[in-house]
Amino acid sequence: MSLTPGVFALTDLITAQLEELKKEVLTCRNCSLREGCQQVVFGEGYPGLLVIGEGPGADEDRLGRPFVGKAGQLLDKILAAGGFDRNKNAYIANVVKCRPPGNRVPTPAESLACLPHLHAQMRILQPKIVLLLGATALRSVLQSTEGITKARGKWQEREGVFYLPTYHPAALLRDPRRKIDVWADIQVLVKKYRELVDPAHYSPYC
């Protein structure tokens, strides 16, 4: 159901299901990351596009929300360029819900332990299109051994869901030359989103 063109209603049922799942995830002790972080960062947003990052950093751990630090601000701009917004038509989640100490990359065991939560989020949100940010998301979600540089910008379909890997915004902060590739990926993303999800999807630039 659309509230206004391109705006997906986060129905009461989906809200209730996500709240129920969140309660469960808040008590999770599947790995030891919860011992070293301040709070669980469950995810937030609206059905439409699902965006998956790696794991919370210091800002996210402090505020309990995904992608709210520097990389998050850049992510919001990238999504906005494609007409996506976490307050409207994008849901932001991470592979691991608890901050790894010192922002290290989550271990494969930690990612595996947390993956059932992401799968449960996906069962509720039922995305047709998923944007994977960086190598950890690519490796954990698709069990891919391909590097992100090779995989980015190419669709991978699994059980009717289309996954598009791209660079993590933190990588763009380290090397802004990669922004041009991400821009190309966003254009590819918008095209598919119009095909599969919302033909009337509005994007300011593509």
Binding residues for ligand URA, per CB under 6 A? 53-57, 60, 66-67, 71-72, 94, 170
Q: Which is nearer to ligand URA, 8 or 167 (CB)?
A: 167
Structure tokens at 65: 């929300």
Q: Which DSSP state fits 104?
A: P
CA angle 121, 127, 21 (to 5 degrees): 15
- Strands annotated E in the chain: 44-45, 49-53, 90-94, 129-133, 156-158, 161-166
Residue 36 Cβ vs ligand URA, minimum distance, rounded to whole Å: 16
- Going by their DSSP bridges, the two strands 161-166 and 90-94 should be labelled as unpaired
Q: Which is nearer to ligand URA, 52 or 186 (CB)?
A: 52
Q: Which is nearer to ligand URA, 45 or 56 (CB)?
A: 56
Query: Which residues pair with residue 130 across a beta bridge?
Result: 50, 163
Residue 83 Cβ vs ligand URA, minimum distance, rounded to whole Å: 21
Evaluate whether 192 touches 156 at the Cβ level (below 8 Å): no
**Radius of gyration in angstroms for the set of CA atoms belonging to the chain, rounded to a whole number:** 16
Residue 202 Cβ vs ligand URA, minimum distance, rounded to whole Å: 26
Residue 32 Cβ vs ligand URA, minimum distance, rounded to whole Å: 19
Q: Which is nearer to ligand URA, 46 or 67 (CB)?
A: 67
Residue 165 Cβ vs ligand URA, minimum distance, rounded to whole Å: 14
Q: Which is nearer to ligand URA, 163 or 198 (CB)?
A: 163
Evaluate whether 97 touches 56 at the Cβ level (below 8 Å): yes
Q: Which is nearer to ligand URA, 25 or 197 (CB)?
A: 25
Residue 87 Cβ vs ligand URA, minimum distance, rounded to whole Å: 16
Residue with the CB atom nearest ligand URA in the bound state: 53
* Rounded Cα–Cα distance for residues 46 and 91 (Å): 5
